[in-house]
Structure 1
């Protein structure tokens, strides 16, 4: 992941509604969740939710799929794991014996 991609992703996650939506999608796994389900879970109006989900899609953290009149959203685990890898790339280089290496993430 490039620095600008990481900045875009972190900026998208830097809002409480977007972070909550992304966490819901991570919980849902590869099957994702319908927009209405996300809105109900977060108690967010449809137009507001649409704006926030659009930002997550733009950052590459979320994918969307039209299903008739509804939209299913899924976390993009490849991008999520790329962001974590970017953030931890040089973790503990200065203190390799301190056991501070990050835990392995989701197997998704």
Structure 2
């Protein structure tokens, strides 16, 4: 389950998502994707770091997927040679352990 967002939080998240998208477009524009069209995690992390996003923001990157917690909302998506997606959503009540608040728990109870 994800936390629900107010209209104000959704708007704030949309503004953050635009900033994230712009930085990740720069990664794609430089090219150099690897296996399966994904970019090195270090390159994605560096793009997010330029926005001031680091471990304290629950940044998680894996196989072209990324997520960032802005302190209010999550901005998640996928960045590969062929696609760039962004999604604004609430933090997960029970996120995947070790990934930050924005990654869905794939385990079971």
> Please, what TM-score do these two structures have when normalized by structure 1?
0.31
Q: Report the TM-score, using the length of structure 2 for normalisation.
A: 0.31
Looking at secondary structure, tell me which structure has more helix per residue.
1
| Greater fraction strand | 2
Task: Return the index of the structure with the highest Cα Rg.
Answer: 1
